[in-house]
Structure 1
Amino acid sequence: MYIYDFIQGLIIGGTLIIAIGPQNLFVIQQGLKKSYVFTVTLFCSLSDSLLIVIGIYLSNYIVQINPSIIGIIKVLGGIWLIFYGLNKVIKLNQIKDINKELNIINEYGKVLITLFLITYANPHVYLDTIILLGSLSTNFNDQFSFGVGAISASFLFFFSLGYMSKFLSKYIYSNKTWFWIDLTIGLLMISYGIYFIIF
C-alpha cells in the first residue's frame, strides 16, 4: 500500500464528506437521541464505500479503454474541485440553522427507509463519490490505496459524528465553527483543483 496515496484519499474523502447535508444531519439527529446509531453510521459508511469502489473501478476501466482520456479527466476533476471550493468560500457567511432540520426518527423501518432515500436519492452523493473521487483516483499510482483512504475517511467521519454528537453538539450548532470548517475545506479543494490541473 502506498501511504502517500492513502493519506491523499483520506484527506480528499474527508473534505468532501464534511458538510451540512441531509445525510449528515440525519446521523447527527439520531446520534443526539442515541437512536439506532450503529445502524445509521454503518449504513452510511458502507454506502459511501460501495459508491467509491464503483467510481474508482469505472474511472480506471475508462482510462484502460482510452488512456488519452486521463488528461481530460484530470482537468475536469480539477475544475470541479475549484468550483466546489469556491462555492464553500462564497457561502461562508450563510447562517446555518441546524435546529430547524432535526427530526428524530425512532422506528427502525422508517430509519432504514429514510437512510436509503437521503443516500441514494441525493445526486450530490453520486457526484462526490462516483464521479469526483473516481476521476481523481486516476491521478494516483495506487488507486487501491487512495480508495482505502477515502473509505477510511467515511467510516471515521460517520462513526465519530454518530457516537460523538452529544459531545460535539456545542460545536455542531455554532456558525463560527462551520465558518472555519467551510473555509478550510474550500481552500483545500481549490488547492487540490489547481494542483491536478497543472500537474
Structure 2
Amino acid sequence: MLSLPVYLTGLAMGFSLIVAIGAQNAFVLRQGLLGRFVWPVTLICAASDAILILIGVLAFRQVAAALPAFEPVMRYGGAAFLIWYGLRSLVAALRHPGALAAADGKAASLPRTLLMCLGLTWLNPHVYLDTVVLLGSVSAQFPGARASFALGAMTASLAFFVTLGQGAAWLRPLLARPRVWALVETAIALTMWATAARLLLFR
C-alpha cells in the first residue's frame, strides 16, 4: 500500500538530486532546444533512472559492496566520454551553427542520439552515486515502505525530464540567433568538462 509521506519524501529527494545541471540534463536541454527526438530521449533518461533507483532500493548493500571494484573503470571511462562530448559541443560552437540546426542533413540520427543519451546516463558515475547509493541508503530508513519512496523518486525523475525537454521549446525563438546557439553549445561543453573534472579530481 502506498505511504503518502514516504512517497513525498522520495519525490522531494528525487527533485533535489536531479535539478542540478549535469551532463545528462544538458543533453536533454539541447535536444529540447533542437526539437529532435525529445520524447525518446526524455523517456530513456527517466527509464534509466527508474532502473537505477530500483537497484538502489532493492539491493543497496550488495551494490555498495561491489562498487569499489567498478568505481575506477566507471570514473575514468566516464570522464573520457564527457571530455570527448564537450569537445564535440565546443567545435559546434566555434562553427557558429544556425539555431535549431535540426534540419541540417548532418544532424544526428535517432539511433546515434539514443546511444549518446545512454552513454551520458550509464557511463556517468555520478548517476550511480545519486540514484543507487544515495537514494538506496535513504530508502533503508523506511522498511516496509521502500516501494513508496522509490515511486516518489521515479515520479520526480520523469516529471523533471519531461518538463526540461518539452519546456525548452519555449526558448527556441531566442535560439534563432547563431551567436546565442553558440553560447548554448559552449555552456554544454563547459558542463561536460566540469563533470569530468569532478570525476577525476574528487573521489
**TM range, smaller chain:** 0.5 to 0.7
1:112 is aligned, of 114, 138, 158, to: 114
Given that 2:33 and 2:171 are in contact with CA atoms closer than 8 Å, whether structure 1 keeps it comes out as no
Q: Give the AA of the match of 2:130.
A: D
- Compute the displacement of 1:102 (Å): 8.2
Match of 1:145 in 2: 148
Provide structure 2 residue ranges, at least 5 long, that are not aligned to the other structure.
64-88, 94-101, 175-203
2:132 is aligned, of 105, 130, 133, to: 130
- Compute the displacement of 1:7 (Å): 0.3
4+ residue stretches of structure 1 with deviation over 4 A? 99-105
Given that 2:7 and 2:152 are in contact with CA atoms closer than 8 Å, whether structure 1 keeps it comes out as yes
Match of 1:160 in 2: 163
Under a length normalisation based on structure 2, what TM-score does the superposition of the two structures give? 0.61
Q: Give the AA of the match of 2:55.
A: I
Q: Give the AA of the match of 2:147.
A: F
- 1:37 & 1:47 partners in 2: Cα distance? 15
Spell out, residue by residue over 1:107-141, the C-alpha distance to the aligned partner (whole angstroms, 9 max, x if none).
11210110111011100000001111001101124
Identity %: 40
- Compute the displacement of 1:166 (Å): 2.5
- Compute the displacement of 1:167 (Å): 2.5
Spell out, residue by residue over 1:84-124, the C-alpha distance to the aligned partner (whole angstroms, 9 max, x if none).
xxxxxxxxxxxxxxx96988753112101101110111000
Provide structure 1 residue ranges, at least 5 long, that are not aligned to the other structure.
63-98, 171-199
- 1:152 & 1:44 partners in 2: Cα distance? 12
Spell out, residue by residue over 1:152-181, the C-alpha distance to the aligned partner (whole angstroms, 9 max, x if none).
0000000110011132678xxxxxxxxxxx
Match of 2:11 in 1: 10
Given that 1:10 and 1:151 are in contact with CA atoms closer than 8 Å, whether structure 2 keeps it comes out as yes
Matches within 5 A, 1:1-199: 1-59=2-60, 106-141=108-143, 142-167=145-170
Given that 1:14 and 1:154 are in contact with CA atoms closer than 8 Å, whether structure 2 keeps it comes out as yes
What's the Cα RMSD here?
2.6
